[in-house]
Amino acid sequence: MKIAVLGTGMVGRALAARLSGLGHDVTVGTRDPQATLSRTEPDGMGNPPFRTWATDHPEISLAPLGEAAAAAEVVVNATNGSGALATLEQAGAEHLAGKVLVDISNPLDFSQGFPPSLFVKDTDSLGEQIQRAFPQARVVKTLNTLNADLMVDPASLGAESSVFVSGDDAAAKATVTGLLISFGHTDVIDLGGIDTARGTEMLLPVWLRLMGALGTATFNFKIVR
């Protein structure tokens, strides 16, 4: 499939590399390709600058958001939650219409430091905000409850664990579930409509405390039943 991964952080890089490795035609979307490629410092998390990663992945192209989204059948939103709506607006509603929009973003608010709070919760979610803002996109919330490396290689944990899908379009969820299975996920739980993204986004405060307690981000939820 032709897939646009909007996002140049660790999630965008992990998804783009894995999807490309699986044979998909992948373009990474960014707000300003020149600015993204001209960064020379590691990001806030210590990840090498994007151009280092891009040099190692010559088969994956970098394009402005709209160009990447326009050419794609499936669009992945791997952008910072605080900028997600604006970033998708820049990608263009007309380029998202009718397409599967895989939303991995979390509504984290770091304005008061760490741990972050959620800027939307309980009665709404970022997934729903995105679906409302782009009603013709077929939004599927998924993969926001585990770290980037495990998203694309869950088998590396050495134990089965669970991921979730939320969305109003059954065919879109089937497409996304197929991609998740191709990554190695074996327990994909369909939570229901996009409103169920409230639940998985509200797992983030738990996930963050687990990371603190365990001293690692290499863990995942497993739903035993």
Given the rule CB under 6 A, which of 53-61, 103-111, 158-166, 170-178 is the region that contacts ligand NAP?
103-111
Q: What letter represents residue 160's amino acid?
A: E
Beta strands in 47-202 (DSSP E): 61-64, 74-77, 100-103, 108-109, 117-118, 138-142, 162-167, 187-192
Interacting positions 51-90 with ligand NAP (CB under 6 A): 78-83, 87
Tokens of 167: 């969305």
- The CB-of-105 to ligand NAP minimum distance in angstroms stands at 3
- CB contact set of 131 (below 8 Å; sequence gap of 6+): 137, 139, 168, 194
- Find the binding residues for ligand NAP in span 185-214 (CB under 6 A): none
**CB of 70 or CB of 171, closer to ligand NAP:** 70
Least Cβ distance, residue 170 to ligand NAP (angstroms): 24
CA pair distance 199, 191, nearest whole angstrom:
9
Contact with ligand NAP (CB under 6 A) among 68, 76, 85, 108: 108
Q: Which residues bind ligand NAP (CB under 6 A)?
A: 7-12, 30-31, 36, 78-83, 87, 104-106, 108, 144, 147-148
